[in-house]
Structure 1
Amino acid sequence: MIITQEMTVRDTVLQYPAASDVFKRLKIDFCCGGNRPIQEAAEARGLDAAAVVQQLNEMKQSAPNLGIGMDWQYMSSQALIEYIVKKHHQFLRDQLPQIAANVERVYHVHGGDQPHLVQMAELFRQLRKVLETHIDKEEEISFPIIIRAEEETDVVSHEDVRAVITELEAEHDGAGELLKQLRAVTNDFTPPEQACTTYRITYARLEELEGMTFEHVHLENNVLFPRFGL
Structure 2
Amino acid sequence: MTATTQTVREIALEHPSSIRVFEQFGIDYCCGGRKPLAEACTAGNLEIGAVIAALEAAEKGPRPEVEDWASKSLERLSSHIVTTHHAYIKRELPRLALLAEKVVNRHGSNHTELPVIAAKLAQLDEELTSHLAKEEAVLFPYMASLERALANGSAKPRNCFGTIANPIAMMTQEHDDAGRLIAEISNLSSHFTTPEDACPTYHAFFDGLREFEQDLHQHIHLENNILFPRAIELEQTAN
SS state at 1:160 partner: coil
Q: Which moved more, 1:138-147 or 1:121-130?
A: 138-147
The residue aligned with 2:50 is 51
Q: Are 1:121 and 2:118 an aligned pair?
A: yes
The residue aligned with 1:93 is 90
Quick check: 2:12–2:29 contact (8 Å CA) kept in 1? yes
The residue aligned with 1:26 is 25
What's the RMSD between the two structures over aligned residues? 1.7
**Aligned residue among 190, 197, 200 for 1:197:** 200
SS state at 1:212 partner: helix
The residue aligned with 2:153 is none
Quick check: 1:149–1:161 contact (8 Å CA) kept in 2? no
Deviation at 1:189, TM superposition (A): 0.8
SS state at 1:6 partner: coil
Specify whether residues 191 and 142 from structure 1 end up closer, same or farther in structure 2 by C-alpha distance, changes over 3 A only: same
Deviation at 1:151, TM superposition (A): 2.9
Alignment deviations for residues 148-197 of structure 1 (CA, whole Å, 9 cap, x no partner): 23333533579430111001001101100101110111111111012111
The residue aligned with 2:37 is 38
Counterpart mapping for 1:102-117 below 5 A: 102-117=99-114
Deviation at 1:113, TM superposition (A): 2.5
Counterpart mapping for 1:55-204 below 5 A: 55-63=54-62, 66-152=63-149, 154-156=156-158, 159-204=162-207
Deviation at 1:12, TM superposition (A): 1.1
CA distance in 1, matches of 2:39, 2:149: 40
CA distance in 2, matches of 1:18, 1:67: 8
User: Matched residue pairs, number?
Assistant: 227
Deviation at 1:61, TM superposition (A): 1.8
SS state at 2:110 partner: coil
Quick check: 2:21–2:58 contact (8 Å CA) kept in 1? no
CA distance in 2, matches of 1:17, 1:77: 19
**Aligned residue among 219, 224, 234 for 1:221:** 224
Q: Which moved more, 1:186-195 or 1:53-62?
A: 53-62
Q: Structure 1 counterpart of 2:67, which letter?
A: M
CA distance in 2, matches of 1:20, 1:6: 17
Q: TM-score, normalised to structure 2's length?
A: 0.90
CA distance in 1, matches of 2:146, 2:173: 20
CA distance in 1, matches of 2:36, 2:146: 31
Specify whether residues 16 and 68 from structure 1 end up closer, same or farther in structure 2 by C-alpha distance, changes over 3 A only: farther
The residue aligned with 2:11 is 12
| Structure 1: unaligned runs, 5 residues or longer | none
Quick check: 1:165–1:225 contact (8 Å CA) kept in 2? yes
Alignment deviations for residues 5-50 of structure 1 (CA, whole Å, 9 cap, x no partner): 1221111111111211110111100001111111111111000112
Alignment deviations for residues 97-135 of structure 1 (CA, whole Å, 9 cap, x no partner): 111110111011111222111101100000111112211
